[in-house]
Amino acid sequence: MRYEIIGGGKSVEVDFLAEDGKLEISTDKRRASFDIVSVQPGVYSVLMDNRSFVVGVGTRNGQKLNVNGTPVSLELLDAVHLHLRDLGWESMEESRAGLVNTQIPGLITRIFHVRGDEVSEGEPLFLIEAMKMENEIRAPISGTIIKISVQEGQTVDKGTTIVEIE
């Protein structure tokens, strides 16, 4: 099966060959055989041609890995997804770029705008306090604020949508 591994600022095209529980992988440059055992749920000991790696696979998001203690963000695209991407479908996600979510849970201490305000990319939208630090969240795109879902002084969970920009 042909896949593309995208991460760490580059991409590699590979063929996976899984047979009798053994995995082989080949690129145009090299061929490698894998010996993968599970050490605990989501953690693997990987011997790739006898090179030893400990690999953690994130439970929430399978594409966030950790190799020998180093975080690696990865996309593994199979032929179908590669084709879709070539057709330009990858940009589907971007239409929701105006949704500003909290990356951290915390207390909204300040909101700088009201509905209808025009904002430019990079302009501060609101302040969220977590772990005693005030964090300024800025507009990811330029546009009009069409919705503000919280009030100052409100405590929010991780991933809550605070502002919508269109």
- Positions that interact with other proteins (CB under 8 A): 3, 5, 7-10, 12, 14, 16, 18, 23, 25, 27, 29-30, 32, 34, 36-37, 39-40, 42-48, 50-59, 62-63, 65-72, 74, 76, 103-106, 109, 129-135, 158
Q: In this complex, which beta carbon is closest to other proteins, that of residue 87 or of residue 131?
A: 131
Q: Least distance to other proteins from the beta carbon of 84, Å?
A: 18
CA-based torsion, 81, 87, 89, 91: positive or negative: positive
Tokens of 66: 């950790």
Residue with Cβ nearer other proteins (27 or 120): 27
Question: For residues 55 and 82, which CB has a smaller minimum distance to other proteins in the complex?
Answer: 55
129 in Cβ contact with 138 (< 8 Å): no
Q: How far apart are CA 33 and CA 37, in angstroms?
A: 13
- Shortest distance (Å) from residue 147 CB to other proteins: 23
Closer of 32 and 99 to other proteins (Cβ)? 32
Smallest separation (angstroms) from other proteins to the CB of 157: 10
